[in-house]
Copies of this chain bind each other. A is one copy, B any other.
């Protein structure tokens, strides 16, 4: 019974996601759905990305959180449009809530819309929001076994960000194990090894995401 219910929920979500995707394609907006565990560094990534790319691209942000607007507060200083979705206990964003908040953005004057999903390595990967692609973020302090243990997201993501590489010396994180597990799950996905707080590797990420924006929505994750 629960499987049937889940199928219905996912079908309804998919229909609305398809609508969102068509609208964004029409408006030529790249939508990036950022998914990670709590505290992997999504907001810090957005801070660094806005700092460097907001002068070049028209950036907007949707902040998905169970409660509080703390992440949005951290991004206020970049003077970009930000909308908070509080899920009030819900473990992921869905396409209906995204569809609603798109009204708050001037899509004709937007290049990239970053969606910071609720901190959760599992549920958000099952809900298409109509994004151009999903971005998986994982931090070294979570351990090198995350791709093997939570494969869905790593299989779906267009790129992987491995954050907090500055902390590797203080943990038992094994780069070889991480890369080899990831390769088994998604052999060709680009991997960016970064430290959002220290800046390591961010240049490659900025270049890559800028390059994606030059050809937005032509190759959506669901097309």
Contacts and interface: CB of A to CB of B under 8 A. Distances in A.
Nearest to A144: B39
A187 interface: no
**How many subunits of this chain does the assembly comprise?**
2
Contact of A68 (B120, B122, B148, B172): B148
A120 B122 CA distance: 8
Given A5-B5, A38-B142, A66-B151, 20 more contacts: A37-B119, A37-B121, A38-B143, A38-B146, A38-B149, A38-B150, A39-B139, A39-B142, A40-B142, A67-B149, A68-B149, A70-B149, A89-B126, A91-B122, A119-B149, A122-B123, A141-B141, A141-B167, A166-B170, A167-B167
Interface of A: 2, 5, 9, 37-40, 65-68, 70, 89, 91, 118-123, 126, 139, 141-143, 145-146, 148-152, 164, 166-167, 170-172, 197
